[in-house]
Amino acid sequence: MNTLLIIVGIIAIILLFTGGFVQSLQFLLWVGIVLLVLAVVVWLVRTLTGNRSV
């Protein structure tokens, strides 16, 4: 699950930069933000509960 979380975080960062640099692809900015928030929420749940299977 750690690998998946890292991949989602990297994709989110790439989409944030792409969405910020290219105005015609502004929707990627929102996709990147949603993926980044999702990755942070999953990380927080895993950290706070101590459950490594999430």
The Cα 18–Cα 48 span in angstroms is 32
Averaged confidence pLDDT in the chain = 79
Element (H, E) at 1: none
Nearest to 36 by CA among 4, 18, 13, 7: 13
3-state secondary structure of 17: helix
pTM for this model (two decimals):
0.55
Nearest to 54 by CA among 9, 41, 22: 41
pLDDT at 11: 85
Question: Tens of pLDDT along the chain (54 residues)?
Answer: 688 888 888 888 888 777 666 666 677 778 888 888 998 898 888 888 876 655
